[in-house]
Amino acid sequence: MTTIHTLMREAAVSLPDLTLPNVDATLFDTPTGAHLNGAGTSSHAPRFLLLYGSLRERSYSKLLTLEAARLLIAMGGDVRVFDPAGLPLPDGAPESHPKVQELREAAAWAEGMVWTSPERHGAMTAIMKAQIDWIPLSVGAVRPTQGKTLAVMQVSGGSQSFNAVNQLRVLGRWMRMITIPNQSSVAKAYLEFDDAGRMKPSAYYERVVDVMEELMKFTLLTRDVAPYLADRYSERKESADALSLRVSQRAI
């Protein structure tokens, strides 16, 4: 019987050369389960930052975000919901602006995030994008979002669509986040919330529960080993090259 190990051996035999001449052996890593032994060691509550993409008085993306916050808190999470009111447009104010600093501090604090946007003209809103654009890819040697978990949701005024969540997934990947498989898209959102702003019982609500449950699981699984999961050969090599250059300059 052919086994996976047999296939691996056959594949190896078919390669005329197994050497890696372009790889720095001192920086090359062979991933093993031992590197993941720290998963689940943190004792503090998982920390989540929730962003929504509307400034309307009755914002359905905000109402959906608050439902997600309640669920995460009930599951043992520590939650912050960022209010985008007063956040300037990217490049329209200095990074020292209080709202920018509040957002960036919360992003650095969080171990996972939830992004919820209305779909407007077939896309996420400018308010949603502006918040993400204010979060830098890196601050010095620290990447505020790399290796952190992400759940994406959207609300629509009409029939169900996935344009906004698909775009949010692209952004999550760009920000080097671990975007969970599940997602929520609430159609005709104006029908899904009562006068008090609470989400009515429905299949849509049950999906939100599923998404937050999955986000919590992925966060618990990855938060302690996120630095290793996001560790990259190319970046280790870049750091080594930079160090070598500095040492050489001192020797001149």
Residues 45-58: tens digit of each pLDDT? 999 999 999 999 99
Contact (CB, 8 A) for 115 and 128: yes
Give the C-alpha separation, 185 to 167, whole Å: 13
What's the CA gap between 95 and 230, in Å, rounded?
A: 26
In tens, the pLDDT along 146-188 reads 999 999 999 998 888 999 999 999 999 999 999 999 999 999 9
Pairing of strands 78-81, 149-155: unpaired
Separation of alpha carbons 69 and 215, rounded Å: 12
User: Concatenated DSSP letters for 50-111?
Assistant: EEE----TT-HHHHHHHHHHHHHHHTT-EEEE---TTPPPTTSS-TT-HHHHHHHHHHHH-S
Beta-strand ranges (E) seen in 103-171 are 112-118, 149-155
Tell me which CATH code domain 47-229 carries: 3.40.50.360
Cα–Cα–Cα angle for 176, 32, 223, nearest 5°? 40
Q: What is the mean pLDDT of residues 96-118?
A: 97
Residue 244: predicted pLDDT: 62
Distance (Å, whole) CA 233 – CA 243? 15
Q: What is the four-CA torsion angle of 147, 83, 58, 162, rounded to 10 degrees?
A: -20
Query: What's the CA gap between 200 and 252, in Å, rounded?
Result: 71
Q: Would the pTM count as exceeding 0.85?
A: no
**Residue 3 confidence (pLDDT) above 80:** no
Each residue of 54-102: pLDDT tens digit? Answer: 999 999 999 999 999 999 999 999 999 999 999 999 999 999 999 999 9
